[in-house]
Amino acid sequence: HKDAKIGKILIQTNQSTGEPELHFLRLPRDIADAYVLILDATIATGAAALMAIRVLLDHNVPEDKIALLSLLVSKQGVQTVAYAFPTVKIVTTACDTQLDQNTGFICPGLGNFGDRYFGTDLIGYTSDTDDIITTIHGNNSFQPCTPDSPLSGRGILLNNYD
């Protein structure tokens, strides 16, 4: 078996304009012959996903060979992508119904995924010896986790049991 080929598309939202900007692109030469998975932690408005799909189409990847995988999407984002590209497959673990009009983040959502993932905007206190920071509940209340809790681990966990 051959190893999976990996390409990279870096699209970031301009904080001033709210528009996506393409910052980096490196795709395999034979990408037009491949099935392509786009991995995006969250899809809020769908604008960045639209740009990523357009980049792939510009490189001759057929629309029906593209799948968009995301941890959390907004209803608006899914509708935007599905309307523009009806044969792109969308796979997610959760869908929230609203967007925050000021930040553009999914509501109730999880805030800025990048800040959470890289630890640049922590909600709770942490030190090098702590195993867990906070569990986020579906009702947006924050409660500390202990190392004995069933969801303990390093980082922030989403708990939608409510």
For residue range 115-146, what is the model confidence (pLDDT) as tens digits? Answer: 888 877 655 444 444 444 333 333 333 333 33
- Which carries the bigger pLDDT value, residue 16 or residue 161? 16
**pLDDT for the residue 141:** 37
> CB-based contacts of 66: which residues, under 8 Å, 6+ apart?
35, 36, 38, 53, 56, 85, 88, 89
Domains, in order of start, for the chain: 8-119 (3.40.50.2020), 122-162 (no CATH)
Cα–Cα distance, 146 to 105 (Å, whole number): 28
Query: 22, 92, 8, 27: which is closest to 50 by C-alpha?
Result: 22
Q: In the predicted model, what is the mean pLDDT of residues 94-112?
A: 83
Q: What pTM value is reported for the model?
A: 0.71
Name the token pair of 25: 């692109």
What is the CA angle 160-69-29, rounded to 5?
Answer: 160
